[in-house]
Amino acid sequence: MADIERKWPTIAESMELVRQGILDERHLRVRPSPEERALLRAEAAALRAELEARKAAAAKTAAKKKRPA
C-alpha cells in the first residue's frame, strides 16, 4: 500500500475509528483512484471470506449441539 496515495480509509481503519467514537469523513470529498479501489476490493474480499468462514463454523457448532447424543 506504500506506493499508492490513499484517500480513503481501509475497512479496518474505519472500524477502529467507529470503536473510538470518531467520524473521519475526509474521503467523502473524493473518489479513490482505480489502484486504491483495487486495494479496498482486496480487503473487502478477504474480510468477506473470513466472515463467511466464521458463519459456517458457527452453523456447524450449532448443528452439532442440536444432534441427539
Residues that bind another protein (CB under 8 A): 9, 11, 14-15, 17-31, 34, 37, 40-41, 44, 47-48, 51
Q: Is the CB of 57 or the CB of 64 nearer to another protein?
A: 57
Q: Is the CB of 36 or the CB of 69 nearer to another protein?
A: 36
- Minimum separation from the CB atom of position 67 to another protein (A): 26
Q: 3-class SS at 33? A: coil
> Which three cell numbers mark 3?
506506493
* Count of CB atoms situated within 10 Å of the CB of 9: 16
- Minimum separation from the CB atom of position 56 to another protein (A): 15
